[in-house]
Amino acid sequence: MVAHAGVRNRPIGVFDSGVGGMTVLHELLVALPHEDFLYLGDTARFPYGDRTREELQAFCAEIGEELVARGAKLLVIACNSATAAALSDLQERFASAGIDVIGVVTPESQAAVVATHTGRVGLLATPATVGSAAYERAIASADAHVRLTSVACPDLAPIIQNGFPFDEQVMATVRGYCRPLAEAQVDTVILGCTHYPLVRPMLQRMLGPRVTLIAPGAAVARRVECALEARGLSSDRATEGDYRFLCTGDPEVFRAIGTRFMQMPLTSVEQVELLPAGSRSADLVAGES
């Protein structure tokens, strides 16, 4: 079933705790050039990596309702911690509106299973993501014979978000995160936080050239494209789509950091105050045909 043009040309909503999700947004912009995108960075509550599951579920519900109220036809959780904690909750929340919710964990896990030759896969992620065991479940579902070695990296996302102040102490910290993966002789490593692709060259050097690094962007873009086609929601425009930004923290700080992440201009950033989940249910826009 093909939706009418008004629905097809609504934006895709993408969100993260900060600007790390722009690594996913960048891939979406390349893969789906005719789509509009609305990105929300919850910078006022960054980082998500040490939050509880209950906190993350509440945050994601608020953000999801904000994006849907602004017309989003599909949601992408471009944050590993949020995906691990709240994907199923958001999928259930917006199912009746016909709005798909896509996270980063399953696409990355499936890509890692395909890439590994030895069945030994590593994971670098935030404490919340590692603690959720979401990747263990996703890997086991894709291939029960693949062994996953997980390493929590509490400092890495904040270091990247705050502007790459890399010195010898930071390098030593990151080497410490990579060491258990080298000892486990993994041949594939999942970058389990959307900030981490920004330091991919450093991680590749520390892990070695024969280790395949898996980032979520391309796999998520393929999943989004399939979901849009399945629902008849792909944009029908022939021109290049638009992308806009929202944040809960300081817009100028967001713009400065985000421009480095996107390697594209952030023309306008709107600061938003999120409402409690459920307080605006009547405003939700269903993706009906």
Q: Which of 60, 153, 178, 193 is catalytic?
A: 193
Q: Which of 60, 79, 153, 247 is catalytic?
A: 79
Peptide bond into 251 cis (omega under 30): no
DSSP structural state of residue 197: G
DSSP structural state of residue 175: H
The H-or-E segment that residue 270 falls in is strand 269-271
Task: Please confirm, yes or no, whether 79 is among the known catalytic residues.
Answer: yes
Q: How far apart are CA 48 and CA 268, in angstroms?
A: 24
Helices (H) and strands (E) in the chain, counts: 12, 10
Q: How far apart are CA 66 and CA 284, in angstroms?
A: 8
* CA nearest to 113, candidates 76, 146, 68: 146
Cα distances from 232 to residues 4, 13, 226, 238, in angstroms, run 9, 17, 10, 16
- Tell me the residue length of the chain: 289
Per-residue buried b or exposed e for 75-94, using 16+ beta carbons within 10 Å of the residue's own CB: bbbbbbbbbbbbbebbbebb
What is the phi/psi pair of residue 255, to 5°?
-65, -45
Distant-in-sequence, close-in-space partners of 266: CB < 8 Å, separation ≥ 6: 245, 254, 255, 258, 259
Distant-in-sequence, close-in-space partners of 194: CB < 8 Å, separation ≥ 6: 16, 20, 21, 22, 23, 24, 78, 79, 80, 104, 216
Task: Please confirm, yes or no, whether 153 is among the known catalytic residues.
Answer: no
Q: Which residues participate in catalysis according to the annotation?
A: 79, 193
